[in-house]
Every structure is written in C-alpha cells, then in structure tokens.
Structure 1
Amino acid sequence: MRPQLPTCLCLVLLLITACGTQQSKQVATQPDKPSVAHHLSKGYEYISAGSAKKAAHELEAALAICDLKYAAAEQTIYSARSSTEALAYLMIAAAKDEAAEVDNTDCSDSLYLMGYVSLDFGRVDEAEAYLKRAVNLAPSNAMYLSELGHVYHLRRDWEAALDIFTRAEQAANSFSPDAVKIGELLRAKRGVGYTLIELGELDKAEVKFNECLAFDKNDAGAIRELKYIQSIRSNPEKP
C-alpha cells in the first residue's frame, strides 16, 4: 500500500465580539485548504465516473500544490511506493553525491493521472510531458513507465517504446508492490511483445507473450497477440 500524506485539518477558532456588548460567540471552525491527497482522490473518483474534465480540474489543483511544494525543496525529490524502492532511489542519489529525499506518490500519481486524462482528450504531447515528469520522480514505477510506453506506441516510435517497456518490466519485477505486481508485469511484457511485433521480431515477441501466459493462462491480450503472430506466419505477404 503506498504511503499517504497525513491528513492535517488545522481548525481555526474565531472569536467574534458583538458590537456594543461584552458577549462573544464562537463561529464554526474552518479546515485548511484541500490537500494533494484530497484532490487526487477526487480525480480518481471523477475518472471512474467517466468525467475527465472534472478529474482534470482536481488534478490541476493537486499539481499546483505540488509545484509550490517542490519549488521550495533544496534536495532532489523522488516518490516511492515502498521502502525498497525508496532505498534504491537514495542509493542512486548517493552514487551521484546528491542530497535527496523520498516523498509519497501523491504528486507523481497526480502527474500520471493527468497524463492519462490528456490522452483521453487526445493531447498526446501533453500526456507525454506529464508522464515524463512522473517518471522523473519515480524512475522505477512500472505503472508510469508503461503508460509512457503507450504514448510511444501511439507515436509509432518503436525503439523508444521497446526501451521504456523493457524498463517497466524490470521495474515491475524489482519494485512493484505485491498487490499490483503481476498486473504491472503483464502489462509491461505485453508492451514489449507488441513492440517486437512491430519491429518484425516475431520469435522474440512470441516468447514474451508466452511468458505472460506462464503467469496467467487466461491473459486475453497475450492470447490475442499470439494468434496474430500465427496469422502473420500463415500469410507472410498480408500487410
């Protein structure tokens, strides 16, 4: 389970003195402005409800807070879903002789979802920019990497897609939380396999999709692509 920002609702007590009297009354307390976690949660809700426009509004609010937060940071910021991933980032920073700290994934998740929403709006360039920012914060997050790989599929940039999906597969193996590990690993493997088909590497693609079936014999995506590979082999001149 990814770490959450603590919810801090600082209550402000207002004392209003009535004009011309010695009496005072206490008004309703007021919470702080909504947090990144609040806007992110609302963004998820709106996406689930099919309202991309409302989701984008919430996510923009989340990212405005994140931009202010990170602008004031004096160290390199990473975001991680587990202590193992966090330690890996701190070791990378130490090897570069950089000061670094690890945050939770509220801000990087907001970037990821903005990338997802941007694709829903057909804004591929915008989606790529958001997803690259998410990957910069969490270089070993398989979910972010695979979504960026999807952008490269849309661009038909097969070499870039192969690189990103390969990274996603490695990241899923090493760092994805147990609850989502298989799903993220399968998506990455399918991304690699699909790309290999487009590069004409049918044998390698077949191996990758069979790896998917070793994890889940009912993986519909892998089964579909294996059938497609067989159709290509049966009709080699078919475009």
Structure 2
Amino acid sequence: MVMVKEWRHAVTVCLVFAMGTVAVQPIDATDVAEATHKLTVASDTPPSQADVKEVADAVLDIRAGKIQRAIDGPLTDVVNRYEKQYGNSSDVVFSARGPVQGLLYLATTASNHAFKGSGNAVDVGPAWSMAYWARGYGYSEMNRYPEAEAELKKALALSPRDAQYASELAYVYQMQKRFSESLALFEGVNAMLDTMDGWTDAAKTEYRCKALRGQGYDLVELKRYDEAQAAYSACVALIPGEPKSLAELEYIKSVRAKGG
C-alpha cells in the first residue's frame, strides 16, 4: 500500500475559502449571565485581512518549492505579530476561519465562564492559526514531522474544530507510524465539517472521503481489515469510482487471499 500526500491537492482551495469568510462585523458582546464576560470578534479589520493574504501567498511559495523561505519569512512574520500581541494574554484566544467557528468557540467559552464567574474571550481572525498550519504543512513537505506536529498542534489549540488542521496532523501521525493517534483524528473530521465556513458541499464531501481513506490506511496498518474495508467502501459511496479507495479495496482483498 502506497501512502500519497493527498491532502496537498486541496490546500490552496481551502485557503481561498478561508479568505472569503472572514468578513463579519466586529462586535463586542457581553454574556448575559455576567457583566464580567466580554466576547470579542476582531476578524474583519484591514490588518487581519492583510495577514490572511500574507499566509495565502506563503502557501503558494511552499507549493512552488520555496518552503524554508516561506516559513522563515512571511509565516513567521505573521506568527510573531500575533504571539507578541496575544501570547501572554489572560483572555481565552481563538483564531477561527469564519464566523460560524468563531461564534461557536466564543459561545462555548461563555458557557464555561458561567461556572467560573468571569473571563474574556477573543477571536482574532483566521491568520494566526493558518500561519501555524502553513508552517506545519511546510515542515511536513520537508519530511520534518516532529516540527510539523508542533506547529499543527498550535493551530488546533487556536481553532480546535478545523477539519483541515486536524487532517494535516493526522497525516503527520501516519508518517511517524502513530496509526492509532492518526485514526482518532481522522474519525473526528466529519463532525468538524459543518463549521467550515464557506466550504462548498463538494469540498466537504472531498474531505469526508479523504478522512475515510485516512482511516482506512490506519486500519490496514493496524490489521483491522474489516473496518478498513468499510471505511474505503464508505468513501466510494460518497464519490463513486474514487480510484484510491478502489485500489486499497483490491489491496485488502489480496491480503486476505494470502491469509492475512
């Protein structure tokens, strides 16, 4: 079985979706339970939009093979800017890729604050988490998987329901032969897709299928062939004739024919 870097084909498309979904009105909202809860969305500002473009341009550089330059230059520039402003903040800070994600994160925080009595939360817009993800993507392209893992975990800490970040980290776990950890992440991707603002139904279907293929790969490596077959078959049900899944189903059949 051959592992293909299949997540890479959707990278630019998903970034374009992200850039198209940050235009929400900045708001300062106070949780109705306590005046001490302030929830702030700060994503629709010229600096935030400029940061998103800087990350998107850096990803294009990575895809053009200018990986270290992208990591050391624009991506680190964006990261440093946000870490300086928010790295030591006492607030709960998120970096969501759209208003649905952002409001979900803030609402969850408000609910938690109702038990704690006070606390503030802010959604700083998508650029910070995207920059961490892009650095992780770049390190992964250079087969520097521990560094990729560290960056992707930072991205998920800022946006814990991001399907692309979770998928990328699951792939990095696969490359480190940490198949159980990879499987757990891939299994959670489907539930994240409803909050991926701006993604088309076709893009979500593609990611569902990719996550199922990722599960199938992990399950084969774990020798759980019945479950792997079910995962690949589910992908084919979503995208009839999907060639990678069909090839893997043939592989599973050959393993079983040999008594595996």
Question: Normalized against structure 2, the TM-score is what?
Answer: 0.74
Q: C-alpha separation between the residues in 2 aligned to 1:117 and 1:157?
A: 20
Q: What's 1:37 paired with?
A: 52
After TM superposition, list the pairs within 5 Å mapping 1:6-155 onto structure 2.
6-7=45-46, 35-56=50-71, 57-71=73-87, 73-97=89-113, 98-155=119-176
Q: Which has the higher contact order (CA 8 A, sep 6+)?
A: 2
Matches of 1:153 and 1:45, distance apart in 2: 24
Q: Deviations over 1:139-179 (max 9, x none)?
A: 1101000110011111111221111111222212x323432
Q: What is the distance in 2 between the residues matched to 1:166 and 1:189?
A: 8
Correspondent of 2:233 among 198, 210, 222: 210
Is 1:231 the counterpart of 2:246? The answer is no
CA–CA separation in structure 1 for the residues paired with 2:100 and 2:57 = 28
Instruction: Write out the 4+ residue segments of structure 1 that deviate beyond 6 Å after TM superposition.
Output: none
The 1-side partners of 2:246 and 2:124 are apart by 39
AA of the residue aligned to 1:84:
V
Moved more, 193-202 or 179-188: 179-188
> Which shifted more, 115-124 or 67-76?
67-76
Which of structures 1 and 2 has the bigger CA Rg?
1
Structure 1 unaligned residues grouped into runs of 5+: 9-33
Aligned length: 211
CA RMSD in angstroms comes to: 2.1
Paired with 1:102 and 1:117, the residues of 2 have a C-alpha distance of: 25
State the alpha-carbon separation in 2 of the partners of residues 207 and 51 from structure 1.
39
Deviations 1:54-85 (A, max 9, x none): 22122111111121122264411112233332
